[in-house]
Amino acid sequence: MAEQPDFQVLEQAAEWFALLASEQVSDNQRKAWQRWLVSSPLHQAAWQRVEQISGQFLALPVAQRGAAHTALRAGSRTRRQVLASLLVLGGGAVLGLAVSRKPAQAWLADQTTTTGQVRQIHLADGGQLWLNSNSSVDIAYDRQQRLVRLWQGELLLESAPDTQHPPRPLCVETSDGSLQALGTRFSVRKQQNGTLLSVFAGAVRVTCASGASEVVDAGQQALFDPQRIGQLTRASPARNAWQRGMLLADDRALGDFIHELAQHVPGHLAVDPRIANLRIVGAFPLRDPERIYAALEASLPIRVNRRWPWWVTVEPRPT
């Protein structure tokens, strides 16, 4: 796998992009950009990333672009109001990047969501399925089974008893293995390092691609990959909150928090590694990221740099 540009290189690319978009750019500056671009494959990858995000933003409907611009102009009154309902604590570097790279199957999936979209799907057996932002599933119900294939992102499933006899198993599959619902409500999140299962009611049987199997009960969660099932831990309420439009942080690292928020925000959202280990506590409205930025700026030693509506970075506050 090719090496990916880090925070600093991406910021350099964004600065060059802003300069070249300026009417005052000189020939010498264009030549300097060319030298920077060809000096490293990481520079070229970062430049392609900036161009890609710019193109994605411009492809949005005009109404959505206008809403993004309006959000960036939110004033201090909004910032003061949000502090009454949100609590953010600082203390103690992880990089969060809004990178959306769908597998081929995700583009062809039966059900998908776009950035910032959460969908509820009524299943044929009476169950309910919610898809988180940037998620893709196939739903295959036949006489033998009830099957949901998660290609990307996250789902929350609330099962219903099957009316057929004998009852068909209800399963969720990812590239890491399969999960069989045992009368339950649970979430499944596809991550780079495996699949995260969080069970909120009932129980779920996890079976890795290797054949390793374990039952995860209500109140527990487990991360598994094709080879093994990790240690069972307490299920995080955050994996149940996005369905209600909330992003929860319970003494969570800022870098991890911003990385998840980035999945709901069009464009690029990243955090400087120097502040990524600051800690956060609170409940935040996913549909209003500007309120989240305001709370962070008011309570942490950070600033939110809005270079464009589609390129936002969380940085240390200048001293």
Q: What residue segments make up the domains of the chain, in order of their start?
A: 7-58, 64-99+245-316, 119-239
Q: pLDDT tens digits for the chain (319 residues)?
A: 556 778 888 888 888 887 777 778 888 888 888 888 888 888 888 888 888 777 665 554 444 444 444 433 333 333 333 333 333 333 333 333 333 445 555 556 789 998 889 999 999 999 999 999 999 999 999 989 999 999 999 999 999 998 888 889 999 999 999 999 998 999 999 998 999 999 999 999 999 999 999 999 999 999 999 999 999 999 998 899 999 999 999 889 999 999 999 999 988 999 999 999 999 988 999 989 999 999 999 989 999 999 888 899 999 998 7
Tokens describing residue 261:
């928020």
Predicted pLDDT of residue 129: 97
Q: How far is it, in rounded angstroms, from Cα 14 to Cα 19?
A: 9
C-alpha span between 132 and 85 (Å, rounded): 24
Give the pLDDT score at 25: 81
Question: Got the DSSP string for 9-53?
Answer: HHHHHHHHHHHHHSTT--HHHHHHHHHHHHT-HHHHHHHHHHHHH
Residue 253: per-residue pLDDT: 95
The confidence score (pLDDT) of residue 94 equals 31
Please report the DSSP string for 69-132 in residue order: HHHHT--HHHHHHHTTT------------------HHHHT-SEE--TT--EEEE-TTS-EEEE-
Provide the pLDDT for residue 2.
57
CA distance 242 to 263: 11
Give the model's pLDDT for residue 107.
57
Q: Return the pLDDT at 34.
A: 86
For domain 119-239, which architecture applies?
Sandwich (2.60)
**Both tokens assigned to 94:** 């992880």
pLDDT at 88: 38
